[in-house]
Amino acid sequence: MPKIKVENLIKVFGNNAQKAVELLNKGLTKDEIMNKTRQAVGVGGVSFEVYKGEILVIMGLSGSGKSTLIRCLNRLIEPTAGKIYVDGQEVTAMSLDELREIRRKKFAMVFQRFALFPHKTVLENAEYGLEIQGVDSATRQEKAKQALELVGLKGWEDSYPDQLSGGMQQRVGLARALAVDPDILLMDEAFSALDPLIKREMQDELIALQNRVQKTIVFITHDLDEAIKLGDRIILMKDGKVVQQGTPEEILTNPATEYVEKFVENVDMSKVLTAQSVMKKAGNVAYPKDGPRTALRKMQEAGISSIFVVNREHQVEGVVLAEAAVEASKRGEKDLTNIIEKDIRMVKPDTPINDLFSLMTDIRYPLAVVDDNRKLLGVIVRGSILAGLAGRGNE
Amino acid sequence: MDMPLPKIPIGTWIENTISWLTTNFSFITKTISGITETGIDAFIAGLMFFPPWLLIIAFALLAWFLSKSRNIALFTLLGLLLIWNLGLWAATMSTISLVLFSTIIAVAIGIPLGIVAALYESFYKIIMPILDFMQTMPAFVYLIPAIWFFGLGAVPATFATVVFAMPPAIRLTTLGIRQVPKDLIEAADAFGSTKMQKLFKLQLPLATQTIMAGINQTIMLSLSMVVIAAMIGAKGLGGEVWKAIQRLKIGMGFEAGLGVVIVAIILDRITQKIAGNKK
């Protein structure tokens, strides 16, 4: 049995919704209905299933109805027609009391703009779901603390949301959702408001987290990269309808319609194929004053075999290879100055990915991505380019 | 020149209504009047029981404790000393008592009404025009029915003051609750909050600052009305001003007016500080 089952779900905004539903069932499009009846179709007859333990990504551009759709699942927005089942129970037929109960026990939601309560501390925010269920203070604090630890916010319990960065705020949002131990996580563009590197970090952590907690996740995004990275399956929406659903592989290799094809292409052309989009955060960096042993330990910590050396302004000075550091340490050298390779290859964030590939064939360290002032923005390893290319069919 | 059509007897209607109300419900208004009168008198008597210097120190300390500001405490101390010196101590105590009484009643009625108006659109639509009416009707007009119901003295003054000073408490409570961002409400709903949980855990805490601003305005309006209410026999600083007007004594009027200003500044700064300190 699927965890969530959605049957011909329709949401029309306007005062004559039934008329619009009739027209929808006759096969008219969103625009035609808008012209005829002045009714705005948010979701125009969508059916799908979500299975236990999977991440289902619903992807579409703004106006495609994806945010309306996810809000229909827990009836934050009341559907106009159609049926929704969770564990076989029909959510669309529930009374308000039953609905509140299922929102408390089965669903938890993470929002694009975090929606943290500004007058509550991080811990109190994480406790909120349990608090309104009437769980006693000691138990809910313990669970909230566990959830905060899970998202890496141990030690921040007493801060207020406005004291945290965007990425950390969204971790609180995630902890608030995880603290109630829901079956289903609804994530509405959860990472869209974060800057690219933080976003990628959060995606990695979500995947790691999902391996441990095994929730059923419905994830909304407008970002194909994100959809491909996170989704076990992807549903692509346009104008309130599903245009294709399938695994990321299927969508990339067999675009069902011209629209999907364009979508996939567009993403490739614009941003996927630049250095910025495939770079990783430089795990660890060394400083010229560091001793060879310090550099080695930093490499070991980050699991890398070479390390970039930066000055105080975070500008790249060069790179040190592990072998060289071992030699230097045997010779008893006190700092890295003798073994820094200064003549290294660096690229700008907007360098196309095809150029990167040739640059990387004969070097033994990652490519450094730097801005105009030589400040280190990130690094590119060969694997990440390959993954970037392989993920996009026969580009 | 008069209009050739007969006059619509709005005034007569109102008079008849009020007259009907007073004849049929005077036992209620009399009871209320009795209780309130006793309460206010006891409170004033209580204040007058202490020597002024002791109360001045107590007020200054209270101001410090509430506002956490040394300047405000110092101003309270000096301002009240000046009032004592001008011989306006008894009048000031009576004014402060009336203001506090009226404010407490206005807030006790106003905040719940404001909450209901924020949560129920239909009630909002009914009460907003009434509030507009209450606020734009010249304040003096409230004095007349107040006399019908309660006779002369402190009670009709309190009644008129409550009617006049309540709108901001209602309005700003409603505003504060409605200003809570939609996405926070959505989050609270998504976790399965009841209406009451949303109100007490989210909406009221986030509206506190706005509600405090409303209380501040209610206090200020109470103060201005208490002065006007001197015309129907409320004593206090307003009474002094009124006497000065009748006798055309400019110095006396100015001194009493200065007393009102001092009381106003003290009450305003303290409540503003409380509103600002809340997070």
CATH number at residue A285: 3.10.580.10
- Closest-CA residue to A132 (of B201, B180, B187, B185): B201
Residue range B191-211, pLDDT digits in tens:
999 999 999 999 999 999 999
Residue range A315-370, pLDDT digits in tens:
888 888 888 888 888 888 888 888 888 888 888 887 777 677 777 777 778 888 88
* pLDDT of the residue at A392: 46
Domain assignment present for A300: yes
Is residue A187 within 8 Å of residue A203, measured between CB atoms? no
Contact B279 A119 (CB under 8 A): yes
Enter the tokens of residue B56: 């001045």
* pLDDT of the residue at A79: 94
Q: Under an 8 Å CB criterion, which residues of A touch B?
A: 74, 76, 100-104, 107-109, 111, 113, 115-119, 128-129, 131-133, 176, 180, 186
Contact A101 B192 (CB under 8 A): yes
Which residue among A76, A108, A117 sits closest to B189, beta carbon to beta carbon? A76
* pLDDT of the residue at A272: 46
Is residue A299 within 8 Å of residue A284, measured between CB atoms? yes
Domain assignment present for A138: no
Residue A12, CB-side half-sphere exposure with 13 Å CA sphere:
26
What distance in Å separates residue A172's CA from the closest CA in chain B?
A: 13
Residues A95 and A190 in one domain: yes
Residues A11 and A60 in one domain: yes
Q: Quick check: helix, strand or coil at residue A236?
A: strand
Q: Which residues contact A39 (CB under 8 A, 6 or more apart)?
A: A12, A13, A14, A15, A16, A17, A19, A20, A33
For residue B270, is it left (φ>0), alpha (ψ between -120 and 50) or beta? alpha
Residues A87 and A193 in one domain: yes
Nearest CA in chain A to B197: A132
Q: Which residues contact A335 (CB under 8 A, 6 or more apart)?
A: A288, A289, A290, A291, A292
Residues A223 and A305 in one domain: no
Contact A115 B202 (CB under 8 A): no
Residues A42 and A66 in one domain: yes
Contact A109 B202 (CB under 8 A): no
Domain closes at, from A232, A256, A272: A272
Which residue among B193, B197, B205 sits closest to A119, beta carbon to beta carbon? B205
Contact B183 A109 (CB under 8 A): no
Residues A339 and A246 in one domain: no
Helix axes B10-49, B143-150, angle to 10 degrees: 70
Its pTM surpasses 0.90: no
CATH number for B10-277 (one of 1.10.3720.10, 1.10.150.240, 1.10.357.10, 3.40.50.300): it is 1.10.3720.10
Which of B191, B201, B204, B279 best tests the A interface by mutation, with the highest count of A CBs <10 A?
A: B191
Helix axes B250-277, B204-228, angle to 10 degrees: 170
Domain assignment present for A358: yes
Q: How many CB atoms lie within 10 A of CB A270?
A: 10
Residues A216 and A360 in one domain: no
Q: Quick check: helix, strand or coil at residue A183?
A: coil
Q: Please, which contacts does A32-39 make with residues 24 or more away whose CB atoms are closer than 8 Å? A: A38/A14, A39/A12, A39/A13, A39/A14, A39/A15
Q: Using an 8 Å CB-CB cutoff, list chain B residues near A158.
A: none
Largest CA distance in chain B: 68
Residue range B116-148, pLDDT digits in tens:
999 999 999 999 999 998 888 888 888 888 887
Residues A196 and A320 in one domain: no
Domain assignment present for A149: no
- Closest-CA residue to A259 (of A70, A59, A394, A21): A59
CA of A329: how far to CAs of A33, A286, A292, A297, A364, in Å?
75, 15, 5, 12, 20
Domain assignment present for A15: yes
- Amino acid at residue number B264: A
- Closest-CA residue to B218 (of B159, B166, B143): B166
Residue spans of the domains in chain B: they are 10-277
What distance in Å separates residue B186's CA from the closest CA in chain A?
A: 7
Domain assignment present for A97: yes
Which residue among A113, A132, A176 sits closest to B192, beta carbon to beta carbon? A132
Domain closes at, from A218, A239, A272: A272
As for how many domains chain A has, the answer is 2
* pLDDT of the residue at A270: 37
Model confidence at B167, pLDDT cuts 50, 70, 90, reads very high
The CATH number linked to A219 is 3.40.50.300
Residues A35 and A86 in one domain: yes
Percent helix, strand and coil across chain B, each rounded to 5? Answer: 85, 0, 15
Which residues lie across from A184 on neighbouring strands? A107, A216
Residue B45, CB-side half-sphere exposure with 13 Å CA sphere:
6
Residues making up chain B, counted from first to last: 279
Is residue A4 within 8 Å of residue A73, measured between CB atoms? yes
Domain assignment present for A202: yes
Q: Using an 8 Å CB-CB cutoff, list chain B residues near A108.
A: 190-191
User: What residues of chain A score a pLDDT lower than 70?
Assistant: 265-274, 277, 354, 384, 386-395
Q: Which residues contact A64 (CB under 8 A, 6 or more apart)?
A: A237, A238, A239, A240
CA–CA distance, A342 with A178 (Å, rounded to integer): 47
- Exposed/middle/buried for B20, CB within 10 Å: 0-12, 13-18, 19+? exposed
Which residue among B186, B187, B194 sits closest to A100, beta carbon to beta carbon? B194
User: Cα B225 vs. chain centroid, distance in angstroms?
Assistant: 8
Which run of H or E residues covers position A49? Answer: strand A40-50
CA of A146: how far to CAs of A104, A155, A172, B188, in Å?
19, 12, 12, 21
Antiparallel, parallel or unpaired: β A316-321 and A306-310 = antiparallel
Domain assignment present for A170: no
Residues A246 and A317 in one domain: no
Q: Which residues contact A70 (CB under 8 A, 6 or more apart)?
A: A58, A186, A188, A218, A220
CA–CA distance, B130 with B167 (Å, rounded to integer): 9
Residues A197 and A97 in one domain: yes
* pLDDT of the residue at A32: 86
Residues A266 and A372 in one domain: no
Q: How many CB atoms lie within 10 A of CB A241?
A: 18
Phi, psi of A58 (to 5 degrees): -105, 115
Between the two ends of chain A, the Cα-to-Cα distance in Å is 38
Contact A131 B189 (CB under 8 A): no
* pLDDT of the residue at A274: 67
Domain closes at, from A222, A256, A272: A272
Range of the domain at A350: 277-390
Q: What's chain B's Rg over C-alpha atoms?
A: 21
For residue A134, is it left (φ>0), alpha (ψ between -120 and 50) or beta? left
Residue A87, CB-side half-sphere exposure with 13 Å CA sphere:
7
Q: Under an 8 Å CB criterion, which residues of B touch A?
A: 181, 183-184, 186-194, 197, 201-202, 205-206, 279
Residue B222 has pLDDT above 80, yes or no: yes
